[in-house]
Amino acid sequence: MSNARYIDYDPVAGAKAVENLLSMFDANEARNKVKGSLALYNKYVKGMDDVGKLMIYAIIQGGVNGVLGEGLPGGGKTRSVEVIAAIIGGRKFIVQGNPDLTPKDIMGSEWLDRADNRWRVSWSPMARANVVMGDEFNRLNSRCMSVFMSPMSEGRCTIAAPHSDGVDEDGNVSVSMHPVRTFLCVQNDVGSPDTNMVPPASYDRFLYMKNFLRINGSAEKELLMDESLGDREVLDRVAAERLLSLDEILAIRQWIRKNMRVDERFIDYQLAVVRATNPGTPEFIKLWRDNPAIRPILDSIESGVSVRANMALKRACQVRAFVEGKDEDGVSPRQFVMPEDLHALAHNVFDHRLVLSNRAATRVGPGDASKIDRFANDYPTDGTITLEQIVHRLNRPGKNPILPGHVTDVVMACLDHTQASDWAAVRR
């Protein structure tokens, strides 16, 4: 960290501050502050609890932690970013996607200062931001989309500046972003006017995917009853009530990585789940052979979850376990990761990375008139769906497309390692 070049951030002073916080670290107090921050988000952003949770998890986790969203305008996406930035005491940078934007508009540019005849670099606010939003991301052209990729993956902003100081051998100048950062890139509905296709490979650079659905009626009523929640002054109220600082987030991140235990049997479980989404692996072949009833789902997979995603998933599970994990008594926090942490995050991590064949979207179920419909049409999406429910859904009559979420459900249901007896040794 100390060798990186930053703007408005001293990594040496930051490291000392984090070291001081860790010397007197109280895990329960830190956990309560994170939960309090989630409650603060829910207080000022109505009906989007799961969005706030994913974004705060991502900020704590660090590394590959971008969030890709999809949804209609006016649903609260920008307000979410503003409130999250205020909750952590950080800076925000919002890019409104337009086809005529250039990379310089997003990242910054080199310019000649006539006063002393020297070339200088003007960085955009992205280089200083802790929360970056690419709104209507898929309205950007491909060059502008690519501008987001390096900061998201590497935490570094780079521009062509061949005449400036600090230039590398390729004629570029780079600065590192603050170590506490996350990106939220929200695309319009795919295929809507003036949109460009986001390459599937780029999806893998986002840790989480979230569909921004319309908030429920009770939350919308709360907004109508208290219109002040839509005012700009709300952000000042959030900042006044915030519980976490950027240094505290870094301290929590380091503590989690060092102290939230990931047992080898959880690693084996995670490997089995992720590799089972990739055709050709022994795990996939065994799943296919052992479960003839769900072969149509498995046969539709063209590519599965990547190694990069697998590595990020482990850290995501650590964060989730730290914030929400409960021990056997259902009350005490636990200090180790369990399959339930993976289950809670699987759809948000897996679904946008799974690539299915074209025929999967047009599949028509055969139906079975003799079978009694024992299940509702709304199936669990939290990892608790059963194999029987999956088979029932697969065989419903009429148009019955196979979606990426069905693949996630399959591996969750068929590779179930959640029995308490399996994890007794881990608890000790």
Nearest to 85 by CA among 207, 256, 233, 242: 242
- With residue 37 as reference, give the H or E element that holds it: helix 27-44
Does position 369 have pLDDT exceeding 50, yes or no? no
User: What's the pLDDT tens digit per position in 284-297?
Assistant: 999 999 999 999 99
Angle in degrees, 0-180, between the axes of helices 27-44 and 77-88, rounded to the nearest 10: 150
- What type of residue is 60? I
Residue 183, pLDDT score = 93
Cα(329)–Cα(321) distance, integer angstroms: 15
Measure the CA–CA gap between 406 and 178, rounded to whole angstroms: 37
The whole-angstrom separation of Cα 303 and Cα 350 is 11
Question: Would you state the pLDDT for residue 374?
Answer: 47
Q: Which residues are CB-neighbours of 359 under 8 A, at least 6 positions away?
A: 300
Highest mean pLDDT: which of 87-96, 325-334, 391-400? 87-96
368 pLDDT band, cuts 50/70/90, is low
193 vs 222, higher pLDDT? 222
Q: pLDDT of 341-360, one tens digit each?
A: 999 999 999 999 999 998 88
Tell me the two tokens of residue 155. Answer: 């935490």
162 DSSP assignment: T
Structure tokens of 69? 């969203």
Mean pLDDT of 331-350: 92
Q: What angle do CA 334, 338, 57 make, to 5 degrees?
A: 75
CA dihedral sign, ordered 337, 343, 347, 348: negative
**Model confidence at 329, in pLDDT bands (50, 70, 90)?**
confident
**Does the pLDDT at position 1 exceed 50?**
no
Give the type of residue at 180: V
The mean-pLDDT minimum among 64-68, 70-74, 302-306 falls in: 70-74
Identity of residue 295: R
pLDDT at 73 over 80: no
Please state the φ and ψ torsions of residue 67, each to the nearest 5 degrees.
-120, 125
For range 245-273, the mean pLDDT:
95
What pLDDT, on a 0 to 100 scale, did the predictor assign at position 344?
A: 92
Residues 252-276 as b or e (16 or more Cβ within 10 Å = b): bbbbbeeebebeeebeebbebbbbb
**pLDDT score of 164:** 79
Q: Residues of the chain with pLDDT > 90: what percent?
A: 52
Nearest to 355 by CA among 303, 410, 411, 297: 303
Q: What is the pLDDT averaged over residues 101-123?
A: 87
Residues 163, 71: Cα–Cα separation, whole Å = 42
Tens-place pLDDT, residues 262-282:
999 999 999 999 999 999 999
**Mean pLDDT within 107-131:** 89
What digits encode the pLDDT tens for the residues 147-194?
888 898 889 998 888 887 777 888 888 899 999 999 999 887 766 667
Instruction: Kindly state the average pLDDT of the residues 315-340.
Output: 91
Q: What is the mean pLDDT of residues 143-149?
A: 87
* pTM of full prediction above 0.85: yes
Within 10 angstroms of residue 87's Cβ, the number of other Cβ atoms is 27
In this predicted model, what pLDDT tens digit does every residue of 204-218 receive, in sequence order? 989 999 888 888 899
Instruction: Indicate whether 372 pLDDT > 80.
Output: no
Round to whole Å and give the CA distance between 29 and 263: 25
CB 287 within 8 A of CB 298: yes
Q: Tell me: the pLDDT tens digits for 379-400?
A: 776 667 888 888 888 887 778 8
Indicate if the pLDDT at residue 98 is higher than 80: yes
Quote the percentage of the chain above a pLDDT of 70.
92
Between the alpha carbon of residue 306 and those of residues 264, 272, 273, 338, 353, the distances in Å are 20, 13, 12, 21, 8
Find the helix or strand (DSSP H, E) in which 80 lies: helix 77-88
Query: What mean pLDDT value characterizes the chain?
Result: 87
Among 39-53, 134-148, 191-205, 327-341, the least confident range: 191-205
Q: Above 70 in pLDDT, residue 425?
A: no
Residue of higher predicted confidence among 201 and 29: 29
Rg (CA), the chain: 23
Residues 6+ apart with CB under 8 A from 185: 66, 67, 68, 69, 133, 134, 137, 148, 206
pLDDT beyond 60 at 375? no
Residue 378 · residue 321 · CB < 8 Å: no
| Angle formed at CA 282 by CA 426 and CA 421, multiple of 5 degrees | 20
Q: Which domains does the chain have, with CATH numbers?
A: 11-256 (3.40.50.300), 260-427 (1.10.8.80)
Those residues whose C-beta lies under 8 Å from the C-beta of residue 163, and which sit 6 or more positions away, are: 110, 112, 119
